[in-house]
């Protein structure tokens, strides 16, 4: 599929907004959901590891929490805390990649689970959680994140002071929980769970050891490097529609 730059008008309107905002690109903002999963990522490109995080998180929540997921949100932040991109064409390619990934994911999940693509201008997870709760009529929110993101989640440099952080944590965990993707041999996970700010909420942080083990080393960066080397290895870690889009548009 060759890019039609279909998201450029939406992006032009969105980047001009200065107030906290989220836009749902595939469904109505008022959708009612019992339990939703949110994967916030740069999706540059989407990978089989992203897909596994979603499918295995759904199974974990079903088995551990006795709760079924009826919505998945693929969230792309246009204003991340530590990096920004100004080129609307780059944003457009990213969203079209997510479109293709969504098609592949729908094939894996089957009927009964709605998948939506969202864009937001909120970089902090607390702020994302607040705006999701504002727009979605949902009982429970599960945010999928990695260890690096969890560390930033409680990093005081992103908050005015300790009181703001503790207030935000208390508010977040009232309706939100975390699925933490971790690597089997990464001992830093235990120390992070013992963090003074997170310890009171450990029951709402669920560890997910991604299977099979070789998926744990898959990253968008390694895939981009493989594409640049033209070695073909990257294709085993990317879903079919995403492969086709990357090749059709000669990305990376």
Q: What is the pLDDT of residues 167-225, one digit of tens each?
A: 999 999 999 999 998 766 566 666 677 788 899 999 999 999 888 778 888 999 999 99
The angle formed by the CA atoms of residues 119, 124 and 127, to the nearest 5 degrees, is: 75
pLDDT at 213 (0 to 100): 76
How do the domains of the chain map onto residue ranges? 8-249
Question: Chain-wide mean pLDDT for the chain?
Answer: 89
Phi/psi at 69 (5° precision): -90, 130
Q: Please give the Cα distance from 26 to 133 (Å, whole number).
A: 18
Q: Where are the beta strands (DSSP E) in 19-80?
A: 22-24, 32-40, 71-77
Q: Please give the Cα distance from 157 to 232 (Å, whole number).
A: 41
Write out residues in the chain with pLDDT < 70, as ranges. Answer: 27-32, 80-86, 183-191
pLDDT at 224 (0 to 100): 96
H-assigned helices in the chain: 8-15, 48-65, 88-109, 125-135, 147-153, 162-175, 188-193, 220-229, 240-249
The angle formed by the CA atoms of residues 181, 187 and 190, to the nearest 5 degrees, is: 70
Adjacent-strand bridge partners of 209 = 182
pLDDT at 68 (0 to 100): 83
pLDDT at 196 (0 to 100): 86
Q: Please give the Cα distance from 129 to 208 (Å, whole number).
A: 21
Q: Please give the Cα distance from 179 to 61 (Å, whole number).
A: 9
As its CATH architecture, domain 8-249 has 3-Layer(aba) Sandwich (3.40)
Q: Please give the Cα distance from 125 to 215 (Å, whole number).
A: 25
pTM for the full predicted model? 0.92
């Amino acid at each position: 599929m060759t890019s039609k730059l279909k998201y450029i008008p939406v992006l032009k309107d969105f980047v001009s907004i200065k107030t906290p905002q989220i836009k749902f690109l595939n469904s109505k903002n008022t959708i009612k959901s019992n339990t939703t999963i949110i994967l916030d990522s740069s999706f540059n490109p989407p990978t089989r590891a992203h897909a596994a995080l979603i499918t295995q998180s759904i199974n974990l929540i079903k088995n551990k929490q006795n709760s079924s997921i009826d919505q998945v949100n693929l969230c792309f932040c246009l204003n991340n805390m530590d990096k920004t991109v100004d080129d609307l064409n780059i944003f457009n390619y990213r969203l079209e990649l997510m479109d293709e990934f969504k098609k592949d994911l729908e094939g894996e999940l089957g009927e009964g689970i709605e998948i939506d693509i969202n864009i937001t201008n909120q970089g902090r997870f607390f702020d994302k959680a607040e705006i999701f709760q504002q727009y979605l009529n949902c009982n429970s929110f599960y945010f999928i994140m990695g260890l690096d993101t969890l560390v930033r989640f409680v990093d005081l440099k992103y908050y005015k002071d300790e009181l703001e952080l503790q207030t935000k944590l208390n508010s977040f965990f009232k309706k939100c929980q975390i699925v933490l993707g971790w690597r089997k041999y990464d001992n830093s996970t235990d120390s992070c769970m013992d963090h003074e700010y997170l310890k009171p909420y450990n029951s709402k942080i669920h560890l997910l050891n991604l299977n099979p083990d070789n998926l744990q080393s898959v990253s968008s960066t390694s895939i981009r490097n493989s594409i640049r080397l033209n070695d073909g290895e990257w294709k085993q870690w990317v879903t079919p529609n995403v492969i086709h889009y990357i090749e059709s548009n000669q990305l990376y």
